[in-house]
Amino acid sequence: MDFDNSWKALLKPGEATNFFDVNNPQGFQVAASEYSKINAWWLAELSRLIYKEEGDEAGNKSKGSSRNHILEKVNLREVRFFDNDGTQCALIESQDAVNDFTILVFRGTNELKDWLANVCIVPAKWPKGGFVHTGFKNALEKIWGAVNEHLSSINSPIFYTGHSLGSALATLAAAKRPPRAVYTFASPRVGNNEFVRTLTDIKIYRVVNNRDIVTTTPPSVWPFDYRHVGELHCIAHDTRMMINPTEQTVTAARQKTERSLENAANYRRWFDPPEFLSDHAPVNYVAHLERQVFQGL
């Protein structure tokens, strides 16, 4: 997978055609509740694929291969898609009876209503304790009843995931119904410290790509108290994965630039988004994680 620092990769990730573009991918590690770089790659790719719209979403206009056509190549199938008033997610199941698992993947910001959810940062009380981002809470409530009903009928291990807004929704879903593990990519802050403490016993892994600006929002200073959730896995400027680094370490890493990566990723093209935005593109998360799995970085 090549890095892509274009505006299209950032704003229209669902128009890509190169999903799961590797030879002989290693199988999803169902038994792993601890962080798995293999599972991180699988879930990042699914978080990118969910942006791809089907024909009925796009006004019955063909958008190329369907999500299920792509998933069939890696022995997965989308069994249910939920869509209500701008919030979308899908249930994806393994088609391997021996390696049986289910993934709930939430779609990130894809239209105006999603952006409105992102900017509604007034805190709302969370039933199990603390306060959360009102826009994220309202977005999840639009589909949670139907999603929760289907989750109740599933017997296989379940993992939650999502990119950007999708990662915030996955986090809130885990607070309602804990899965085996949650992998978030480019997650904004979701709730305050009290809310974060309610998730202590849930396996949540938060993957951040270097300078991704979305991961620094919403604010954590007065009058807000938004905090991040989960074990941080931060991709540094030189593609190293830093696990639970200090804030000072992250800040220092973001001030550095790896020239070889800069050239390969075409960071110097005049009309591309700045790095703090291009690092948010789903494909660049996948590209980094793919290198860690298949090239041993």
Cβ burial, residue 222 (10 Å; 0-12/13-18/19+): exposed
Q: List, for residues 54-83, the tens digit of each pLDDT value.
A: 877 755 555 678 999 999 999 999 999 999
How much of the chain, in percent, has pLDDT values that exceed 70? 90
**11/283 Cα distance (integer angstroms):** 11
**199/204 Cα distance (integer angstroms):** 8
Average pLDDT over residues 231-237: 93
Q: Which residues contact 252 (CB under 8 A, 6 or more apart)?
A: none
Place of tokens 């996955």: 170
The answer to whether the CB of 208 falls within 8 A of the CB of 233 is yes
**67/151 Cα distance (integer angstroms):** 21
Residue 73 corresponds to which tokens in the numbers above?
Answer: 């190549």
pLDDT score recorded for residue 114: 57
**pLDDT over 80 (residue 94):** yes
Strand 158-163 and strand 102-106: pairing?
parallel
78 sits in which H/E element: strand 76-84
**pLDDT over 60 (residue 16):** yes
Q: List, for residues 104-156, the tens digit of each pLDDT value.
A: 999 998 765 555 556 677 899 999 999 999 999 999 999 999 999 999 999 99
Average pLDDT over residues 210-214: 94
Q: List, for residues 166-183, the tens digit of each pLDDT value.
A: 999 999 999 999 999 999
165 sits in which H/E element: helix 165-176
Nearest-5° angle of CA 168, CA 229, CA 42? 65
Q: pTM (2 decimals)?
A: 0.92
Residue 127 corresponds to which tokens in the numbers above?
Answer: 């039933």
Pick the CATH number of 7-11+31-294 from 3.40.50.1820, 3.40.1190.20, 3.30.450.20, 3.40.1180.10: 3.40.50.1820
pLDDT score recorded for residue 260: 43
Half-sphere exposure for 113 (CA within 13 Å, toward CB) = 11
Please state at what angle helix 112-119 crosses helix 165-176, rounded to 10 degrees: 60
**What is the residue type of 251?**
T
Q: Which of 187-201, 216-230, 264-278 has the highest mean pLDDT?
A: 187-201
> Of the given ranges (28-42, 183-197, 202-216, 269-283), which has the lowest mean pLDDT?
269-283
